A and B are shown apart, each in its own frame.
Chain A
Amino acid sequence: MRAQGLGVSYKILIIDDEEVVLDSCAAILEGSDYQMATASDGKHGLKLVQEFQPDLVFVDLKMPGMPGLEVIDRIHTVDPSIVTVVITGFATVSSAVDAMKRGAYDFLPKPFTPDEFRLITRRGLEKRKLVLETAALRKEKEMLRENFAAIVSHELKAPLGAVQQNLFVLEAELSGNLTEDQKRRLERMKSRITDLVKLIHTWLRAISVDIETIKEKFEPMSVASVISKAADSIQPHATRKDIEIVTSLEDPLSPIFGDEGTLAEVLINLGNNAIKYSYAGSQVLIKANEANDHVLISITDTGVGISKEDLPFIFDDFYRGKTSQTGERGYGLGLALSQRIVEIHNGSISAESELGKGSTFVIRLPIYSRDHHPQPPLQAEVIPSP
């Protein structure tokens, strides 16, 4: 695919078996800033598509040899960004519609006036320009996304690393000379920076990781095991806030099909949220049971809850509740990322909450079944030749 720079003239290819059409088209465009090539049949035309690399191709639908529709298909196989317009002699709308269903951009009914031809040419080239620009932008966006991760990672983490490194040193150098209160503050500084580094990692994951790729790692896995891992991980946070984590799992639970690492991340995120918005001395309940071929995992707290106005938006990127009461702050990505991960697993996530009473988040994941989940491909059956 080429970028169409300024000052580069567009290339137009016309494939038609009628010499009079080719000649009149050439005459109409004479003097304009286009390069033109012509072919009298599909085979010839496709050869020119490769050599001439046109931006816009007019294809006659009814030609001897390769049918126009097939020519259009083949052009799009060579380069889907080439814009094609069909020339249709039997000015029936249905044949033009057929062609447009197969990817043609427009149609030119025969006979046509010079103005009609010029107009359709201009429209086709505008389309081509848009297609090329879109492709270039998409590529740029992709590069930005990849590079952004690398740059952010270094530019944000390096200063934090330097600060943390010096806190480590200070702590070591001053050990024995600090009061309990000073030690505690130093400890807090370290922990705040550690949190910040974790936050950067979360953002980077949300921005840079193509979440679809986790599908490649899916395998049958146990719900009990992922819950136990997540519970272990959030235990220190709970202990710090004097909150008890209670797990209650149906036994046995069917396996699900997924990636344990990212699902654990979802549960850790929901668990940490539950702890974050809970009051000291309360419980966070993690339950799992089966219903209708799904495993349901719920995480319930009796904390501050989410207001009715906020509830519909909590899974949106960067959404943060306006009515935070505990002084706890989120960054509005955890739930959005969690939802994305659950959806990749063909599951769903929902929340119920009442302000002042607490929240329940429920994740539904389909049970693993041999019939519905991909297995290693079977070897192709060998058909004996006659």
Chain B
Amino acid sequence: MNEQKRLLMIDDDPDFVAGIKAILEGANYKVDVAYNPKDGFEALQTNPPDLLLLDIMMGRGAEGVMLARKLRKDPKLREIPVLIITGIREQIAFLFPGEPVHPRFVPVDELVEKPVEPQFLLDRVSALLEAAEERKVQSD
């Protein structure tokens, strides 16, 4: 009954991706991966996932942020819950001058720090998916 949820992870560190992917696949999620923001955005458009796991510091600086901003402007993609995974919490304030430490790019996002405890990650992912599900039911 409960169909398998499909997640997309955009992160340029293959080892980190492997660590996260193993946790999520162990919990019966299907995980697609893009290793750069460009491929990531294409994957988002061609086959929107149920949830996006997004790294902030990719490529030259905070390209993850650009992608999150692009996402917010897209009427269709903005509904996708986004879980930001970052190693640089203390620099967030620097990246987003004037914004609080926990910036909300899209209304449904959540930010966790690298590395992330497996159970904590699974809790956040399922909470975001449930919240998205509820919103969908309400708007239907």
Q: What is A's interface to B at a CB cutoff of 8 Å?
A: 150, 153-154, 157-159, 161-166, 168-169, 172-173
Contacts and interface: CB of A to CB of B under 8 A. Distances in A.
Interface string B20-49: 101100100000000000000000000000
B91 to A, nearest CB: 6
Given A172-B26, A173-B22, A165 B16 contact: yes
Main secondary structure of the interface of A (DSSP, over half): helix
Interface stretch (B67-75, B102-110, B111-119, B125-133): B111-119
Contact of A168 (B15, B90, B91, B118): B118
A169 B117 CA distance: 9
A243 to B, nearest CB: 29
B56 to A, nearest CB: 10
B57 A154 contact: yes
Given A168-B117, A168-B118, A173-B22, A157 B16 contact: no
B94 interface: yes
Contacts of B93: none
Contacts of B15: 159, 162-163, 165-166
Interface of B: 13, 15-16, 18-20, 22-23, 26, 57, 87-88, 90-91, 94, 114-118
A169 B22 contact: yes
* Closest 8 pairs (CB-CB, A-B): A165-B19, A161-B114, A164-B115, A162-B15, A162-B16, A165-B115, A166-B19, A169-B22
Given A166-B18, A172-B26, A153 B88 contact: yes
A230 B32 CA distance: 45
28 contacts: A150-B91, A153-B87, A153-B88, A153-B91, A157-B87, A157-B114, A158-B13, A158-B16, A158-B57, A158-B114, A161-B13, A161-B16, A161-B114, A162-B15, A164-B114, A165-B15, A165-B16, A165-B19, A165-B114, A165-B115, A166-B22, A168-B19, A168-B115, A168-B117, A169-B118, A172-B23, A173-B22, A173-B26
A153 B62 CA distance: 13
A150 B91 CA distance: 7
B23 A161 contact: no
Contacts, number: 58
A153 B18 CA distance: 22
Nearest to B95: A150
B19 A162 contact: yes
Given A157-B88, A161-B16, 4 more contacts: A154-B87, A162-B114, A165-B116, A168-B23
Contacts of B18: 166
B79 to A, nearest CB: 28
Nearest to B57: A154
A163 B20 CA distance: 11
B49 to A, nearest CB: 20
Contacts of A162: 13, 15-16, 19, 114-115
A197 to B, nearest CB: 9
A166 B116 CA distance: 10
Nearest to B20: A165
B89 to A, nearest CB: 10
A157 B55 CA distance: 14
Contacts of A168: 19, 23, 115-118
Given A169-B19, A169-B118, A173-B26, A150 B13 contact: no
A159 B115 CA distance: 10
Contacts of B118: 168-169, 172
Contacts of B116: 165, 168
Contacts of A172: 23, 26, 118
B24 to A, nearest CB: 10
B93 to A, nearest CB: 12
